[in-house]
Amino acid sequence: MAIKTYEKPTIIKVESSHSKAGVPMPKQKIRKKIGGVAIDEMVERFGSPLFIFDEKAIREKYRSAYEAFSSRYPNVQFGWSYKTNYLKAVCAVFHQEGAIAEVVSEFEYEKARELGIEGKDIIYNGPYKPYDSLVTAAKEGAKIHIDTFDEINDLEKVADELGSEIPVAIRLNMDTGIYPQWSRFGFNIESGQAMDAVKRIKAGGKLRLTGLHAHIGTFMLDANAYKVETTKMVRLMNEVEEKVGFTIEYIDVGGGFASKNHLRGIYQPPEVVVPTIDDYAEAITSALYENIRGNSYPKLYLETGRHLIDEAGYLVTSVVASKTLPDSRRSYIVDAGVNLLYTYFWYKFNIELTREISGISEPAMINGPLCMNIDVIDESILLPRLRRGDKLVISPVGAYNITQWMQFIRYRPRVLMVTEDGNVELIREREELSDIENREILPEKLKLK
Amino acid sequence: MRIENLAVNKNGFAFDPTSGETFTLNETAKEIIEDLARGVEEKEIAKKLSEEYDVTQEEALNDVLDFKEKLKLYGLLP
């Protein structure tokens, strides 16, 4: 007798609340390859779980974003937002494409320098910049964006120390019509605080204001907020140039463009609610043209992070066990947990299989391997019955997860990049005990015999 | 055992005349229900499945136990 293909036993009670359960899944979401390379082969070779980045997808996304802006406003420069993903290989792809670095700490600054980025090609943002890092950044000609009056004092001290004037930008916050308004970074425009900061810088005589910067929010679903932002920034630029006499060389509108990820609590799919890069570009560049008064057109800087990298990143995880829960749902335990998926807290991910699986669908939840009740990757998903070793491909996960992941309970896994020519490169090795313990010190008297 | 009374048609549609509830199930589930209703031991069911399908006896036994749990939750087994 020929051996038949096994389908795990499945029974589903017909209930109106699960109207789609209990029938063969009309369309299974399948992803067999990333960047042209079979996912199963990569797992075979490098183990599971795995983060996988698609180099071609990163470059294509960057080029289309650059094109959207440069075709409308030629004087444009992207700065790669390190905090979104500071894996060396990922940063290097963006730098090869022409992006400079945008960093928000001395650590990120050092990372960019170590990668070979010159100080002049680094935008230094953030609410806290240690004094020594300001000295280094000023010496190396970085674009320092001032966040507070205290930082003005620090930089004036640095200028004295170096015996030279330091070119700087100030960070701004404002009402762009969105909620919540981001007001904790920089100086407020509407209250006059921003103009006070400009005058304070002028009065000090040690710093020269050359740029204006703002970052109005994250995952912005309203492109018009950028039109409001840019309008307010250009009007402030006009006022600064006329009344205070500084020449503003650049306007940095920050980041916050959304990716095609599914925000929790939003019913419509990202294809419907997320503006296109052309929508954002049109909003920003039209505001520049409508409000610039003089003949000089400042350079436009962008610090787009999530939009450029989110969709190029995948997490492949394998089913290690399954069980029936007391509410009759199936729980799959997979080998990657929410410690690797920081963005789980606001995204409902796209979850795909790497093979078609026959059988009727069943309501399931996907749990990670952490011994913590919160380790839930998807609370409610219809899946055919999966077997041990079946793989799930979770996306988009390219933004923020690699930087905000936690070493918690388990080692963090390998990260791969599928290159443009279809090669598979290991870009971060999996952790081992020494990675975690080499910063710990056990006092002599506590050493166990 | 209510599974003895379960009316299962060839398309995997099942009706429980005791409660009026309906279920859908696949071929493997149907076979296990028939065996359980006839009083076949779990291990024996797993052995049969492993002979008929591309599944090990160990995996099949886990599935039978898990499936029984589901039947209990649906009130089809005591």
Domain contains A443: no
Contact A171, A146 (CB under 8 A): yes
Instruction: For chain B, give the number of residues.
Output: 78
| pLDDT band of A296, cuts 50, 70, 90 | confident
Judge residue B9's burial from the number of C-beta atoms within 10 Å of its C-beta, 0-12 exposed, 13-18 middle, 19 or more buried. exposed
In terms of domains, do A177 and A28 share one? no
Q: Provide the whole-model pTM.
A: 0.93
pLDDT of residue B4: 87
Contact B8, B14 (CB under 8 A): yes
- Please check the confidence at residue B65 and state whether its pLDDT lies above 90: yes
pLDDT of residue A16: 60
Residues A124-175 pLDDT 10s: 999 999 999 999 999 999 999 999 999 999 999 999 999 999 999 999 999 9
pLDDT of residue A269: 85
Sign of the alpha-carbon dihedral angle for B22, B27, B31, B32: negative
Domain contains A59: yes
Instruction: Find residues 11-50 of chain B whose CB sits inside 8 Å of chain A.
Output: 12, 14, 21-29, 31-33, 49
Distance CA A319, CA A195 (A): 57
Distance CA A103, CA A125 (A): 6
What residues of B are in contact with residue A3 (Cβ under 8 Å)? Answer: 52-54
Distance CA A252, CA A284 (A): 11
pLDDT of residue A146: 98
pLDDT of residue A19: 59
Domain contains A361: yes
- Would you call B26 and A4 a contact, using CB atoms and an 8 Å cutoff? no
Nearest CB to B26; choose among A323, A326, A360 = A360
What residues of B are in contact with residue A10 (Cβ under 8 Å)? Answer: 25-26, 28-29
Residues A244-274 pLDDT 10s: 999 999 999 999 999 988 888 888 888 889 9
Nearest chain B Cα distance for residue A324, angstroms: 6
- Please check the confidence at residue A25 and state whether its pLDDT lies above 80: no
What residues of A are in contact with residue B26 (Cβ under 8 Å)? Answer: 7, 9-11, 359-360
pLDDT of residue A181: 84
Q: Which residues pair with A96 in a beta bridge?
A: none
- Please check the confidence at residue B53 and state whether its pLDDT lies above 70: yes
In terms of domains, do A335 and A203 share one? no
Q: Which two tokens stand for residue A44?
A: 């075979």
pLDDT of residue A24: 64
- Would you call B23 and A11 a contact, using CB atoms and an 8 Å cutoff? yes
Instruction: For chain A, give the number of residues.
Output: 449
pLDDT of residue B1: 64
Domain contains A446: no
Contact A429, A414 (CB under 8 A): yes
Residues A29-48, mean pLDDT to the nearest whole number: 97
pLDDT of residue A265: 81
Per cent of chain A over pLDDT 90 is: 86
In terms of domains, do A31 and A65 share one? no
Distance CA B68, CA B60 (A): 12
Which residues are CB-contacts of B64 (< 8 A; sequence separation ≥ 6)?
A9, B32, B42, B45, B46, B49
Q: Which two tokens stand for residue A27?
A: 């369309």
pLDDT of residue A18: 54
Domain contains A151: yes
Of A136, A129, A54, A79, the closest CA to residue A313 belongs to: A54
pLDDT of residue A15: 77
Distance CA B52, CA A283 (A): 64
Question: In three state form, how does the secondary structure of chain A look?
Answer: CCCECCCCCCEEECCHHHCCCCCECCCCCECCEECCEEHHHHHHHHCCCEEEEEHHHHHHHHHHHHHHHHCCCCCEEEEEEHHHCCCHHHHHHHHHHCCEEEECCHHHHHHHHHHCCCHHHEEECCCCCCHHHHHHHHHCCCEEEECCHHHHHHHHHHHHHHCCCEEEEEEEECCCCCCCCCCCCCEECCCCHHHHHHHHHHHHCCEEEEEEEECCCCCECCCHHHHHHHHHHHHHHHHHHHHHCCCCCEEECCCCECCCCCECCCCCCHHHHCCCHHHHHHHHHHHHHHHCCCCCCCEEEECCCHHHHHHHEEEEEEEEEEEECCCCCEEEEECCCCCCCHHHHCECCEEEECCCCCCECEEEEEECCCCCCCCEEEEEEEECCCCCCCEEEEECCCCCHHHHCCCECECCCEEEEECCCCCEEEEECCCCHHHHHCCCCCCHHHCCC
In terms of domains, do A233 and A329 share one? no
What residues of B are in contact with residue A22 (Cβ under 8 Å)? Answer: 23-24
If one counts the domains in chain A, the total is 2
The secondary element (H helix, E strand) that includes residue B44 is: helix B42-52
In terms of domains, do A66 and A46 share one? no
φ, ψ at A284 (rounded to 5°): -75, -50
In terms of domains, do A288 and A372 share one? no
Could you tell me how far CA A171 lies from the centroid of its own chain? 20
pLDDT of residue A290: 96
- Would you call A11 and B66 a contact, using CB atoms and an 8 Å cutoff? no
- Please check the confidence at residue A301 and state whether its pLDDT lies above 80: yes
Please give the mean pLDDT across all residues of chain A: 95
- Domain end position, chosen among A309, A338, A366: A309
Domain contains A6: no
- Would you call B25 and A328 a contact, using CB atoms and an 8 Å cutoff? no
What residues of A are in contact with residue B73 (Cβ under 8 Å)? Answer: 324, 326-328
Residues A189-204 pLDDT 10s: 999 999 999 999 999 9
The secondary element (H helix, E strand) that includes residue B14 is: strand B13-16
Contact A341, A394 (CB under 8 A): yes
Contact A377, A397 (CB under 8 A): no
In terms of domains, do A94 and A200 share one? yes
Which residues of A have a CB under 8 Å from any CB of B?
1, 3-14, 22-23, 322-324, 326-328, 359-360, 387-388
In terms of domains, do A137 and A228 share one? yes
In terms of domains, do A247 and A321 share one? no
Q: Which two tokens stand for residue A285?
A: 């560049």
| pLDDT band of B45, cuts 50, 70, 90 | very high
Range of the domain at A332: 16-53+311-429
pLDDT of residue A363: 92
Across A99-118, b (16+ Cβ under 10 Å) vs e yields bbbbbbbbebbebbbeeebe
Residues A4-24 pLDDT 10s: 999 999 999 987 655 566 666
Residues A106-117 pLDDT 10s: 999 999 999 999
In terms of domains, do A305 and A317 share one? no
Residues A311-326 pLDDT 10s: 999 999 999 999 999 9
In terms of domains, do A388 and A301 share one? no
Distance CA A37, CA A53 (A): 11
- Please check the confidence at residue A298 and state whether its pLDDT lies above 80: yes
Nearest CB to B29; choose among A4, A11, A388 = A11
Hey, is B54 helix, strand or coil?
Answer: coil
CATH code of the domain containing A162: 3.20.20.10
In terms of domains, do A204 and A283 share one? yes
Instruction: Return the higher-pLDDT residue of B54 and A359.
Output: B54
Domain contains A425: yes
- Domain end position, chosen among A275, A309, A343: A309
Distance CA A118, CA A232 (A): 31
Domain contains A436: no
pLDDT of residue A48: 98
Give the number of A-B residue pairs with CB atoms closer than 8 Å. Answer: 77
